[in-house]
A and B are shown apart, each in its own frame.
Chain A
Amino acid sequence: EAGVAQSPRYKIIEKRQSVAFWCNPISGHATLYWYQQILGQGPKLLIQFQNNGVVDDSQLPKDRFSAERLKGVDSTLKIQPAKLEDSAVYLCASSFGEYNEQFFGPGTRLTVL
């Protein structure tokens, strides 16, 4: 089966600009996650969707970050405006079933200058 797809793979922007990331989960996976992974650290959960509803967005900086999952399939994560400290890899994952076995995409590496 196809894995989790993410695009773009790399993005370089200047601070105060906007950026959007796209994720297509594995077909049939109801749960979708966005993580931020800063260099040298473990992934930090930003938001978790169950179908198209938000389960957990407690660590999402809502003044600048937004995410949506229309129709319960694809998802976009947006940063507006970006700050230097947003430089990180943004990982998308999806899961199905009670074990929450998460399958990760390759990530989008964001550099904010």
Chain B
Amino acid sequence: GEDVEQSLFLSVREGDSSVINCTYTDSSSTYLYWYKQEPGAGLQLLTYIFSNMDMKQDQRLTVLLNKKDKHLSLRIADTQTGDSAIYFCAENKVYGQNFVFGPGTRLSVLP
């Protein structure tokens, strides 16, 4: 497809794991990113992964990359209420438009 795709909503219980999925467009994209946006704020970079990696772990965050399927996921372990926000995946394309963001997944964490 031509657009970066994400599920729009995800709801989890506090303490559970959250998995946010993304399908990107360009198999030659060099870097893939996850950003977090809280209400009324700009975007905050959570983590990124280079295209030659399969997995990256950073504290509670785990990023998995499947280049064959152009699928990216973000797993948040032990999800807290402070994790409630909108999560965007983005790709740094080699050709054409440099940065393309997905529509965002709104994560709601229930007590």
Main secondary structure of the interface of A (DSSP, over half): loop
In the assembled complex, 26 residue pairs joining A and B whose CB atoms fall closer than 8 Å, in A order, are: A33-B99, A42-B90, A42-B101, A43-B88, A44-B101, A45-B97, A45-B98, A45-B99, A48-B98, A48-B99, A55-B98, A56-B97, A56-B98, A91-B43, A93-B42, A93-B43, A100-B31, A100-B99, A101-B48, A102-B45, A104-B35, A104-B42, A104-B43, A106-B41, A106-B42, A107-B41
Chain B residues lying within 8 Å of A58, measured Cβ to Cβ, are 96-97
Interface residues of A in 81-109 (CB under 8 A from B): 91, 93, 99-107
B41-53 near A? 1/0 per residue, CB < 8 Å: 1111100100000
Q: Which of B42, B88, B103 has the most CB of A within 10 A?
A: B42
Main secondary structure of the interface of B (DSSP, over half): strand
> Does A43 contact B101, Cβ atoms closer than 8 Å?
yes
Which residues in B have some Cβ–Cβ distance to A below 8 Å? 4, 31, 35, 40-45, 48, 88, 90, 92, 96-104
- Contact-size category for A: 20 to 34
